[in-house]
Amino acid sequence: MKRIHGIALIHPYDRYEQYPATAAAQGPRLRSFELPAVTVVGTSSNLREEDRIGPYKQPRWTATRRFPGTRVYVVPEGKVEVEYWLRPTFNRDGETDIRTLYEIEFGLPHRFQLDLYFRTDQTGDNSEMLIGQQVEFRWALADWGVLPGNPTLYLEWVGPEQRPDKIEGKLLLGGEIAEGWHWGSNLVAELETGGEREYEYQLTGAISRTVIDERFSIGAEGIILIADTKEDRGNFSDSYLLGPSFQFRPLPAMTINVAPLVGIGHNSPDAQVYLNIGYEF
């Protein structure tokens, strides 16, 4: 609740602040948008999405996916969310690669997170649709705000049909620049375990600005990717993508993220579009 010139303004989400700080432990499981704020000395914001919540004292905005292509921290313990992904890549040869992901994520104790994916890949309209699965673990090194950049370790196994398995490691970083300004960055290594033994290395970066608290934000994302194979190790191909990103929350439990990225340079695709829809249970 805020007061302007003596008039009390009640945020539409303020009804959830009726829960005491011990409600999560004593009562029914609360979703991230229902969790009561906890007091952290030295932090202050007029935005509810920047309230500190949960056992890790993280900002509420980090409890759901903020950027389609860049991960930040872990979700609170006890959170369960399902997500749908659509990622078309428009190549310069006219072919379009379509990837879909169906994901369920779990917030685990001790700053761990587990994500399970079912995946499909298809190139063009007439190619065979290939399926696969992915398993992802995250572990945050400390509670939010204890270490600069809130570093989080990420390890993923990718098992695609008719293609070599991949192991992907990431270092996730993220934080707040000022009230309403949020950032993330990932250092990524994705290694094929067979076939051409392609090794991919990425640097991603993202920034967002809150326009309407817990409703709408805009920002930008960028990806730098280099890759080589075992037959030509050290001779890297490169790809660059850059574009705007948007987050819309039509319901407290629902998040829609969109990032239409444009390729830069002749080795990059024309465009790669991320659409992510999540719902928290």
More confident position, 89 or 124? 89
- Least Cα distance to 130 among 95, 94, 158 occurs for 158
With a cut of 50, say whether residue 96 has pLDDT above it: yes
- pLDDT confidence of 43, banded at 50, 70, 90? confident
Average pLDDT over residues 143-172: 97
pLDDT surpasses 80 at 31 = yes
Is the model's pTM score more than 0.85?
yes
For residues 271 and 262, the answer to whether their CB atoms sit within 8 Å is: yes
pLDDT of residue 19: 37
pLDDT computed for residue 18 by the predictor: 37
Domain harbouring 200, CATH code: 2.40.160.40
Residue 16 covered by a domain: no
Least confident range of 3-12, 62-71, 229-238: 3-12
Residue 125 lies in a domain: yes
Q: Band the pLDDT of 202: cuts 50, 70, 90.
A: very high
74 within domain boundaries: yes
pLDDT of residue 24: 41
Mean local confidence (pLDDT), 178-197: 97
Q: Provide the residue range defining the domain that includes 166.
A: 61-280
Average pLDDT over residues 240-265: 98
Residue 260 lies in a domain: yes
Domain-located, residue 131: yes
pLDDT of residue 26: 58
Rounded to an integer, the average pLDDT of 15-29 is: 49
Contact indicator for 134, 158 with CB cutoff of 8 Å: yes
182 vs 4: which has the higher pLDDT: 182
Looking at the DSSP bridge assignments, the partners of residue 122 are 98
Which pLDDT score, from 0 to 100, does residue 15 have?
Answer: 37
Beta strands in the chain (DSSP E): 2-4, 7-9, 52-53, 58-59, 80-90, 96-108, 112-123, 130-140, 152-160, 166-178, 181-192, 199-212, 216-228, 237-251, 254-264, 271-280
Measured CA to CA, the distance from residue 250 to residue 97 in angstroms comes to: 29
Number of structural domains the chain divides into: 1
In a domain, 3, yes or no: no
In a domain, 243, yes or no: yes
**Binning pLDDT at 50, 70 and 90, where does residue 172 land?**
very high
Does any domain span residue 48?
A: no
